[in-house]
A and B are shown apart, each in its own frame.
Chain A
C-alpha cells in the first residue's frame, strides 16, 4: 500500500503572517508531496511496500545503497512531524510539566530559546533543528539534510525545518528571523507535551 501525503493539521493560510499560505502551498503541496511520491516509487514492488514508515527509515539508515530511500522516507516523516509542531496562535513559553522539564534541562526558557536558535541557525546547509529526548534527558540537536532523531535512538519532541525552502519566500536569507518567529508565534507546545508522555 502506497503512502499518502497527510493533510495539513490547519488551513494553508492559518499561520499567516509568520508562515505564509504561499510557502505552505509549495512546502506541503510540492516538497512534502515529492518525498511521498519518490518514496512510493522506491518501495513499490519490493518487500518494504507494506512496512510502516518508521521501519523503512530504520532499515535504510546508515546503508549507503539505500540513501535515496532513507532521504525520502525520513523527509516524509520529518515534514509530517513539523506540521504538527506548529499551530495558529502558538509559540511563547510552554507551561506545566513541559516547562518544568525545559527549565531543569536548560536553566530556563530563555536559555532554551538561545540554544535552540543556535542549533537551528548554525546548521550549515539544509537540515533541521530539534528538541529531543535521549536517555530520559531533553537535548537540543540539529541534523543535516534528511537525518532524523528516530534513526539515532532519540525521540523527537519538537522540530523546525531549516532547509531554505522552509522560509525563503517569507524570510529570504534571514533564517534567524524565521526561527525566532517560529518560537514566538508558531510552536504547538500541546503537541510537544504529548510527545513527552
Chain B
C-alpha cells in the first residue's frame, strides 16, 4: 500500500501576493513530498496497516507498532496536515465564513473577529514549529487550538476544519521573522466553501 500526493488544487502562483509562488512550489513539491515519501517508507514493512486510511491511522496511532510510531506520527501527520492546508486555501478567497459554519462560529466564539484573533494568537504562541487549527469536537462544537510539529487534531479526537501551517518554511521566504504578518494575511486565502464542507462532513 502506498499513499499519494494529492493534486494541488491551484497553480503555484495562485496564492500571490499573500504567499509567493516559490514558497508554494517548495512547500508542495519538497516538504509535502518528503513527508509522503517518509510515510510510505515507514509503512512499507507494516502490511497489517494496509488499506487503512490516513485518518484512521492518525486517529489511532496505538495501532502502529511502536518501532514505527514516531515516523508515522511525524510523516503521516505532515502528509495529512498539508492536505488540509492546501485545500482550505485558494485564489480569490478571503470573504467570511459561510452558512452553517458561520452560525457555528457565531455560537462558539461570538463571531468571526474573535475566531481570527484566537487563531492568530494560537499560531503566534506556538513556539518552534507547528500548526494553528479550527477543529470540530465530537459534540459538534468548535475549538481553536495549536499542535506542535506535525501532530494532528485527529490524534486528539478532533476534526480539523481549517488549519494554518506555522512552520517557518511556510512563510520564511516572504515574511522572514514576521509570522504575525503571515497570519494576518492568511485570512485573504481561506476557502470558506471548502471549510464549510469539511465542517458538515466532520
Chain A, interface residues (CB within 8 Å), range:
20 to 34
Q: Once the chains bind, are B127 and A71 in contact (CB under 8 Å)?
A: yes
CB-contact partner of A163 in B128, B149, B150, under 8 A:
B128
Q: A71-B127, A125-B149 are in contact. Are A168 and B168 (CB under 8 A)?
A: yes
CB-CB < 8 A to A169: which residues of B?
A: 172-173, 176
CB-contact partner of B168 in A67, A146, A163, under 8 A:
A163
Q: How many residues of B contact A (CB 8 A)?
A: 19
CB-contact partner of B31 in A124, A146, A173, under 8 A:
A173
Q: Which residue of B lies closest to A166 (CB)?
A: B168
Residue A154 interfacial (CB < 8 Å): no
Q: Which residue of A lies closest to B170 (CB)?
A: A164
CB-contact partner of B167 in A71, A145, A164, under 8 A:
A164
Residue A6 interfacial (CB < 8 Å): no
CB-CB < 8 A to A145: which residues of B?
A: 127-128
Within the complex, the shortest CB–CB distance from A29 to chain B, in Å, comes to 9
B108-132 Cβ-contact flags toward A at 8 Å (1 or 0): 0000000000000000000111100
Within 8 A of A (CB), among B2-59: 26, 30-31, 34
CB-contact partner of B30 in A26, A124, A126, A172, under 8 A:
A172
Within 8 A of B (CB), among A30-76: 30-31, 34, 67, 71
CA A105 to CA B45, docked complex, whole Å = 34
CB-contact partner of A125 in B34, B129, B177, under 8 A:
B129
Residue A144 interfacial (CB < 8 Å): yes
CB-contact partner of A34 in B130, B167, B177, under 8 A:
B177
Q: Which residue of A lies closest to B23 (CB)?
A: A172
Residue A165 interfacial (CB < 8 Å): yes
Q: Once the chains bind, are B177 and A172 in contact (CB under 8 Å)?
A: no
Q: Once the chains bind, are B172 and A165 in contact (CB under 8 Å)?
A: yes
CA A26 to CA B176, docked complex, whole Å = 7
CA A26 to CA B31, docked complex, whole Å = 23
Within the complex, the shortest CB–CB distance from A187 to chain B, in Å, comes to 23
Within 8 A of B (CB), among A67-112: 67, 71
CB-CB < 8 A to B31: which residues of A?
A: 173
Residue B169 interfacial (CB < 8 Å): yes
Q: Which residue of B lies closest to A25 (CB)?
A: B176
Within the complex, the shortest CB–CB distance from B75 to chain A, in Å, comes to 9
Within the complex, the shortest CB–CB distance from B86 to chain A, in Å, comes to 17
Q: Once the chains bind, are A173 and B172 in contact (CB under 8 Å)?
A: no
Q: Once the chains bind, are B127 and A26 in contact (CB under 8 Å)?
A: no
CB-CB < 8 A to B149: which residues of A?
A: 124-125
A143-170 Cβ-contact flags toward B at 8 Å (1 or 0): 0111000000000000000011100110
CB-CB < 8 A to B169: which residues of A?
A: 164, 168, 172-173
CA A31 to CA B148, docked complex, whole Å = 20
Residue B93 interfacial (CB < 8 Å): no
CB-CB < 8 A to A34: which residues of B?
A: 177
Within the complex, the shortest CB–CB distance from A123 to chain B, in Å, comes to 10
CB-CB < 8 A to B129: which residues of A?
A: 125-126, 164
Residue B74 interfacial (CB < 8 Å): yes
CA A71 to CA B172, docked complex, whole Å = 21
Q: Give 30 pairs: A residue, B residue, CB < 8 Å, sorted on A.
A: A30-B176, A30-B177, A31-B177, A34-B177, A124-B74, A124-B149, A125-B128, A125-B130, A125-B148, A125-B150, A126-B129, A127-B128, A145-B127, A146-B127, A163-B128, A164-B167, A164-B168, A164-B169, A164-B172, A165-B168, A165-B172, A165-B176, A165-B177, A168-B168, A168-B172, A169-B176, A172-B26, A172-B169, A173-B34, A173-B169
B residues contacting A by CB (< 8 A) are 26, 30-31, 34, 74, 127-130, 148-150, 167-169, 172-173, 176-177
